């Protein structure tokens, strides 16, 4: 006998030992039920015996003793026989019920062990379909995992590049604002540092000799300086070839206009600025001036090179050339019937 057989036999013995208390409980319960039924039958027999005794006494009183004597004894014997047969009948009924239940279980097992053989082709067909579906699922899962990795990589790359640019722009913004205001400070702050793309950015500045404020709470000139600082910081990070600004110096004083104009002239040589301005200390720094004037319900322009007016050691021939240019402009105005003076509006480039 092998070890496996021994272990199986041991398990059977253990199961028998474990089931012994259950069987004993069942036997005790069965015996109790039988005793209870026997007690009920005895009570019934006693009642019937007392009834027969009563009837016998009544018969004796009327002289009918011989009529019921033997019949009563036979009836008593029949009742006791009924009691014994009733006990055996209940036992037989219980055994029959157990056999019926076991027969039902056996029939169910036989039905399971005898499947419909005509279902085999359909089973094979479904098996092939299942194999195809599993293969498709594996391919789609692999594709999904690849796309998910690519998406995670792109998100991480976007976050890294954004944070790198954000830090550089923040440092450059502080530098620009300090240069323009000479004593201020500015910063960019993420509303949600864990997810910078969800809530946005807060732009706060500290003007000279003032407390920190949000840009929406600043005056007109302070807003202009803050906005220009941010534009210059963005330009330093990623230059744009062309900027168009409309009267950015309208709310600035003379000092700040000069600071902004000199910065645009000296620090942004890799871009072209078109600025509409009415401040002379702004358009004096331009490379070209374009004057806008109106006559006869039409708008005309005239272009001037400011360098010809600002050169202190200009030669005579250049001055003559300049005068010739001005004379040609006046002749054109006379020919067109224009008597108004040019320069009603000025645009600096």
Mean pLDDT score, 232-240: 89
Specify the higher pLDDT residue, 118 or 195: 195
Give the pLDDT of residue 90: 63
The answer to whether residue 166 sits within a structural domain is no
pLDDT over threshold 60, residue 65: no
Separation between Cα atoms, residue 346 and residue 276, nearest integer Å:
7
Q: Considering its fold, how many domains does the chain have in total?
A: 1
The answer to whether residue 97 sits within a structural domain is yes
Beta bridge partners of 244: 274
CB 65 within 8 A of CB 59: yes
The answer to whether residue 85 sits within a structural domain is yes
Print burial letters for 328-346: b (CB count within 10 Å at least 16), e (below 16).
Answer: eeeeebeeeebeeebeeeb
Alpha helices, DSSP H, located in the chain: 3-62, 65-113, 120-181, 196-199, 220-237, 254-267, 280-283, 307-310, 316-335
Work out the pLDDT band at 163, boundaries 50, 70, 90: very high
pLDDT over threshold 60, residue 342: no
Give the pLDDT of residue 118: 75
Give the pLDDT of residue 250: 85
The answer to whether residue 251 sits within a structural domain is no
Separation between Cα atoms, residue 234 and residue 240, nearest integer Å:
9
The answer to whether residue 311 sits within a structural domain is no
The answer to whether residue 124 sits within a structural domain is no
Specify the higher pLDDT residue, 271 or 313: 271
> Whole-model pTM?
0.50
User: Could you read off the pLDDT of 89-113 as tens digits, one per residue?
Assistant: 566 566 666 667 677 777 777 666 6
30-34, 210-214, 251-255: which range is least confident on average?
30-34
Those residues whose C-beta lies under 8 Å from the C-beta of residue 249, and which sit 6 or more positions away, are: 224, 256, 257, 260, 261, 277, 279, 282
Mean pLDDT score, 12-22: 60
Give the pLDDT of residue 145: 95
Work out the pLDDT band at 155, boundaries 50, 70, 90: very high
pLDDT over threshold 70, residue 64: no
pLDDT over threshold 90, residue 131: yes
Work out the pLDDT band at 126, boundaries 50, 70, 90: very high
Return the top range by mean pLDDT from 15-19, 52-56, 289-293, 311-315: 289-293
User: Could you read off the pLDDT of 166-222 as tens digits, one per residue?
Assistant: 999 999 999 888 888 888 889 999 988 888 888 888 898 988 888 888 888 888 888
The answer to whether residue 211 sits within a structural domain is no
Specify the higher pLDDT residue, 258 or 314: 258
71-75, 82-86, 183-187, 315-319: which range is least confident on average?
315-319
Give the pLDDT of residue 25: 64
Give the Cβ contact number of residue 286 at 10 Å.
Answer: 23
Work out the pLDDT band at 82, boundaries 50, 70, 90: low
Q: Are strands 289-295 and 185-190 parallel, antiparallel or unpaired?
A: unpaired
Give the pLDDT of residue 336: 47
pLDDT over threshold 60, residue 116: yes
User: Could you read off the pLDDT of 292-322 as tens digits, one per residue?
Assistant: 888 888 888 888 887 776 655 444 444 334 4
Mean pLDDT score, 220-231: 88
The mean pLDDT of the chain is 75
CB 65 within 8 A of CB 56: yes
The answer to whether residue 41 sits within a structural domain is yes
Separation between Cα atoms, residue 323 and residue 330, nearest integer Å:
11
> What's the sign of the alpha-carbon dihedral 94, 95, 100, 106?
positive
Structural domain span for residue 49: 19-114
């Amino acid at each position: 006998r092998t070890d496996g057989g021994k272990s199986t036999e041991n398990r059977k013995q253990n199961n028998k030992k474990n089931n012994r208390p259950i069987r004993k409980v069942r036997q005790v319960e069965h015996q109790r039920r039988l005793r209870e039924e026997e007690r009920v039958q005895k009570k019934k027999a006693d009642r019937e015996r007392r009834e027969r005794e009563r009837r016998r006494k009544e018969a004796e009183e009327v002289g009918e003793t011989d009529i019921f004597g033997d019949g009563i004894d036979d009836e008593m014997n029949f009742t006791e026989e009924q009691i014994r047969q009733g006990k055996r009948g209940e036992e037989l009924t219980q055994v029959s019920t157990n056999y019926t239940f076991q027969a039902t279980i056996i029939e169910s097992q036989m039905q399971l062990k005898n499947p419909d053989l005509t279902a085999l082709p359909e089973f094979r067909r479904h098996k092939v379909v299942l194999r195809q579906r599993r293969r498709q699922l594996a391919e789609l899962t692999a594709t999904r995992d690849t796309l998910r990795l690519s998406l995670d990589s792109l998100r991480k790359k976007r976050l890294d590049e954004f944070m790198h640019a954000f830090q550089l722009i923040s440092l450059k913004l502080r530098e620009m604002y300090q240069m323009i205001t000479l004593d201020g400070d500015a910063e960019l702050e993420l509303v949600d540092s864990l997810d910078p793309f969800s809530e946005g950015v807060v732009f706060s500045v500290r003007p000279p000799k003032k407390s920190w404020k949000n840009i929406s709470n600043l005056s007109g000139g302070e807003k202009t300086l803050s906005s220009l600082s941010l534009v210059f910081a963005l330009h330093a990070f990623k230059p744009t070839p062309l900027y168009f600004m409309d009267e950015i110096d309208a709310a600035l004083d003379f000092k700040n206009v000069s600071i902004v104009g000199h910065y645009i002239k000296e620090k942004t040589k890799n871009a072209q600025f078109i600025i509409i301005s009415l401040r002379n200390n702004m358009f004096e720094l331009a490379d070209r001036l374009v004057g806008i004037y109106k006559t006869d319900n039409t708008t005309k322009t005239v272009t001037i090179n400011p360098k010809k007016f600002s050169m202190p050691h200009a030669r005579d021939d250049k001055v003559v050339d300049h005068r010739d240019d001005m004379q040609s402009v006046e002749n054109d105005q006379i020919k067109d019937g224009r008597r108004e003076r040019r320069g009603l509006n000025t645009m600096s480039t």
